[in-house]
Amino acid sequence: MTPRAGMLIAAGALVAGTVTVLPAAPAGAGEPAPRPLPPLAWTGCAIKAYPKLQCATLKVPLNHDDPAGRTVTLALSRVPHTAKTFQGPLLVNPGGPGGSGRTMAGYVAASLPPEVAAQYDVIGFDPRGVGKSEPALDCKPGHFAPVRPDSVPRGAEGERAAVQRAQDFADACGKKYADVLPYIDTVSSARDLDVIRRALGAPKINYLGYSYGTYLGAVYARLHPDRVRRMALDSVVNPHGVWYEDNIAQDYAFDTRHKDFMAWVARQDAVYKLGTDPAAVEAAWYRMRDALRAAPAGGKVGPGELEDTFLPGGYYNGYWPRLATAFSAYVNDADAVPLTEAYERYGEADAAADNGYSVYTSVQCRDAGWPRDWNVWRKDSWDVHAKAPFSTWNNAWYNAPCAFWPVDSLTPPDVSNDQVPPVLILQATDDAATPYEGGVALHRLMRGSSLVVEEGGGNHGVTLGGNDCLDEHLATYLATGKVPRAEGDAEVDAVCAALPEPEPEPLAPPAGKQTKGKTAARSLPPRAETVGAAQPKATGTVRAESVGGILHGLLGHVR
C-alpha cells in the first residue's frame, strides 16, 4: 500500500559483468527464432547472509517491438545449483511493482529445503527501472518527506493542495523520463523475463512470484505458456481489478485487518493497558491520530506518517507487538519516542523507497485505465472512507498521480490460460494487500491450477515464513511438479491452518520524562539490510522477518 519501511530486501553493493542482447528477428510464421544469447557473465557479489550469491547484468530492448533499438539494463542475481539433478532456473520476484528482487534469490535459496534449492539456479532480478537496473527511476526525490498534510482532506483548500502535489509528481515523471515511461509496464517486464530465459540458455523457466509478482507471472504465462515449466504464485493480485478496483478492495481489506490488530491489542490489555473493548482501542488509535495532526511526534510523525507506520501491520502480524508498544507508550505515557522509532523503522521512506514508488506509479498508471476526472476519485474515496477509514485517503493520494499521468494507459491483457502446466496458487483468507478473491479468480482463470489456502491467515506472502504445511506444498511442487487436488467439485485443493498470533512483548519503562514531539536515541535495532538476515528458518512459528514482513517494504499496494 504505502511505502514506507526501508527496502528490506535491498542488496548491498553488488557488482556484475554485462551481456548485451543482440538484435533478433521477431519470431513468427516462417520467421527465424531469436538468436541465442552469449552466456551471462556471473561474478561474485556475496553478502554476509548469502555467501553464494552471484550477479550479472543483461541488456534488453527498451521497446520489445524494436529489438534493434535502445536498450535498458537489468541487474540479475543467482544462487547456482549444486545437485546432480538440475531442474533449470527458478526465477523469483517479490512484487511491487517497484520491488528490488536481487537478494530474493538468496532468501529463497536459503529458505527452501536444501535438497530442493540445490536442484535449481535461483535467479533474482531488479525489473526495469528498479534498483540497480538502469535507468533507475526517481521522479521526485523526497516526495514522502515528513510531515505531509493530513491524508484525509480538511476542506477544499487542503484537497486542492494534495491534488496539486499528486499532479506535480506525475509532471516530474513526465519531464524526467518521457522517453522511458511508455515502456515501464507489466507486459514489457514479462517480455524481459523471456530475454532472461534466453540469456540463461533455458528452454523453459520455473517461477515463484509474490504479490504483484503473481500478476507478472500470469502475464508471462499468457504470453509464453509453452515456456513455463513450473509456476508458484503466492498472495495473488485479482486480475479482474487491475488496478483502480483492486486498490478500492484493499481499502476495505486493510481496514478490516487494522481492526483485527485492534482486537489483538484488546486481548493483550494486561500488557498494553489500552482497554479490553476492540472498538474502544480503535477509538483511542484515532484520537492519537487527531493529536498528531496538531503536534507531530518527533516533528515527523503526523497523521499520514502514522498510517504509513501502522500499515505494515496489515502485511505482517509479526509487527503487532512493537506497534502496540508504540501505541501504548503514546496514549498511556505521553511518550512519543517509541512511535517515532516505529516510524523510522517501518514507515519512513528513503532513496530506495523513492525509486520503488516511481516504478510503482509508472507501472500501474501505464498498465490500465484510471479515472481522469478527480471528481470520480473524490466520490469513491469518501464513500469508501465512510466504511473503511484506516487508509482509504492515504491510498488515494498514493495512487493519485495516475489521474494526471503523462502517458496513455494500456488495456490489461487477458490472463486466462488453458495451456500452461499446473500452477500452484497459495493464498491466505484474510490477506489485506491481495484479498482472497484474487486467488480464487486466478485459480478459475488458469485451468488445471491448484489452490492452497491458509485458513484464517492474515499475512501477505505466506510461504517460506514458517508455516510448515504451506512450505511443504511449495517444496513438493518444486521438487516433483505435483500439486494437491480436491475431491469432487471443491474449489480449494488443500487447506493449511494459519500460524498462531504473535505473543505480546513486555513494555519497557517510559523513556525518562519524554514528552510528545521530543525524541531520544533509537532503542529499536536498525532495519535489516537483507532478506531474512541472521534469521533461522522457523518451524511452525512466525519468524522475526518473514516474506510477509519483507513484502510490505516494497512500496506497493500489491506487494
Residue 429 vs residues 28, 209, 215, 400: alpha-carbon distances, Å: 42, 18, 18, 28
In the block, cell 505480546 appears at 504
Number of other residues whose CB lies within 10 A of the CB of residue 416: 13
**Grid cell listed for 260:** 483485527
CA 17 to chain centre: 28
CA distance 288 to 117: 47
- Answer whether the bond into residue 135 is a cis peptide, omega within 30°: yes
CA distance 162 to 166: 6
Number of other residues whose CB lies within 10 A of the CB of residue 158: 13
Q: Dihedrals φ, ψ of 465, to 5°? A: -125, 15
Number of other residues whose CB lies within 10 A of the CB of residue 42: 17
CA distance 279 to 327: 15
In the block, cell 487477458 appears at 414
Three-point CA angle 57, 61, 66, nearest 5°: 165
**Grid cell listed for 325:** 508498544
Tell me whether residue 51 is exposed, middle or buried, using C-beta atoms within 10 angstroms of its C-beta: 0 to 12, 13 to 18, 19 or more.
exposed
CA distance 254 to 256: 5
Query: What contacts 123, CB < 8 A, 6 or more positions away?
Result: 76, 77, 78, 89, 90, 91, 92, 105, 196, 200
- Helix-strand-coil split of the chain, %, nearest 5: 40, 15, 45
Taking the CA of residue 309 as centre, how many other CA atoms within 13 Å lie in the half-sphere pointing to its CB?
Answer: 26
Residue 235 vs residues 31, 96, 232, 445: alpha-carbon distances, Å: 39, 12, 10, 16
Query: What contacts 234, CB < 8 A, 6 or more positions away?
Result: 208, 209, 210, 211, 214, 426, 427, 461, 462, 463, 474, 547
Q: Which residues are marked as active site?
A: 211, 431, 460
Residue type at 179? D
Query: What contacts 184, CB < 8 A, 6 or more positions away?
Result: 128, 129, 137, 177, 359, 362, 363, 366
CA distance 207 to 96: 16
CA dihedral 166, 553, 251, 241 (to 10 degrees): 80
Rg of the Cα trace of the chain? 23
Strands (E), 429-539: 450-455, 494-497
**Grid cell listed for 551:** 513484502
